[in-house]
Amino acid sequence: MNVIYQPHTKRAYRRADAKPLLSLQNVTLRYRTEASIITAAHDVSFDVHRGDRFILLGASGCGKSSLLKAVGGFLKPAAGEIRLEGRIVDAPGPDRMMVFQEFDQLLPWKTILQNVAYPMRKAKKWSSAEICDRARLFTAKVGLEKFADAYPHTLSGGMKQRVAIARAMAIEPKILLMDEPFAALDALTRRKMQDDLLELWSGTRSTILFVTHSIEEAVVVGSRILVLTPHPGQVRAEINAHQFAFADLGSADFGNLCTRIHHMLFTPCPRHPKGQ
């Protein structure tokens, strides 16, 4: 593996000894169809630490969503293991909340507030009054307090994604799993959502595992980036990107890092079985 993660900061040095929150060790993921067996990801290992905005970056079909599904407990590895706080992940749980790309992930018959409250009611961690307060708080955090009593079909795609993020964060998962959450939005809304996510993160310091196929989005949103080879996904490199903030968009350093990642994604990797 071409590891170019540089522990520049004191925080990064501490991390070298700290136990990861999430650890994937030599994970291979396969789908068995009637016609064949498809390897979605091969021998993938990485560690996510508390407070990371950890990005899985790779071309469409390289197994990013499959890796997220496996971390979510929806797909069992064919080989290797996934551990959260040292315990093997073998089922879904409220400690891993997922935000998807699709706008239809909300319950259409519930209001925004009820949608945000719904997983908290199922988790039974808070009283009814606390759930109401938390639902209002997180709806406000994503800027939708005026729409608390609206139904999802009255909202734009970006607003629906905000609700999905509020709903996932309100339950205080150990890790927030985001599968191309902004990919279906127009370019301007996407920018705003990236900025707002970083703003939210600076308040909560939640741990985020974020999937994207956009290099620029990876560098803007991520503190660390795992670059995956094309199908089947293998680790090509792990990159430290915490030094870049939203304001660096368009700077020379930002552009250089994007170019470096672009080369990694598009030049053949000698380790890859197909030489891709």
- Interface residues toward Mg ion, by CB under 5 A: 65
Closest-CA residue to 152 (of 118, 125, 198):
118
> At its nearest, how many Å lie between Mg ion and the CB of residue 99?
13
Instruction: Name the residue nearer to Mg ion (CB basis): 211 or 269.
Output: 211
Please state the closest distance from residue 39 (CB atom) to ligand ADP, in A.
Answer: 8
The number of beta carbons lying within 10 Å of the beta carbon of residue 215 is 20
| Cα gap 41→146, rounded to integer Å | 43
- Residue closer to ligand ADP (CB basis): 49 or 231: 231
Rounded Cα distance, 267 and 234, in Å: 14
E strand spans, the chain: 2-3, 22-32, 37-48, 53-57, 79-84, 87-88, 96-99, 175-179, 208-212, 224-228, 235-240
| CB contact at 8 A, 67 and 49 | no
71 binds ligand ADP (CB under 6 A): no
**Residue 265 site contact among ligand ADP, Mg ion, none (CB < 5 to 8 Å, cut-off depends on kind):** none
| Number of residues this chain uses to bind ligand ADP (CB under 6 A) | 13
Count of other CB atoms within 10 angstroms of residue 174: 16
One of 5, 12, 25, 38 touching ligand ADP (CB under 6 A): 38
Please say whether the beta carbons of 238 and 1 come within 8 A: yes
Determine, following the binding rule CB under 6 A, whether residue 60 of this chain makes contact with ligand ADP. yes
Q: Is residue 99 within the footprint of ligand ADP (CB under 6 A)?
A: no
Closer CB to ligand ADP, 68 or 113, in the complex: 68
62 lies in the site for ligand ADP, by CB under 6 A: yes
Site string for ligand ADP, 164-203 (x = CB under 6 A): ----------------------------------------
Residues in the site for ligand ADP, rule: CB under 6 A?
Answer: 31, 33, 38, 40, 58, 60-66, 231
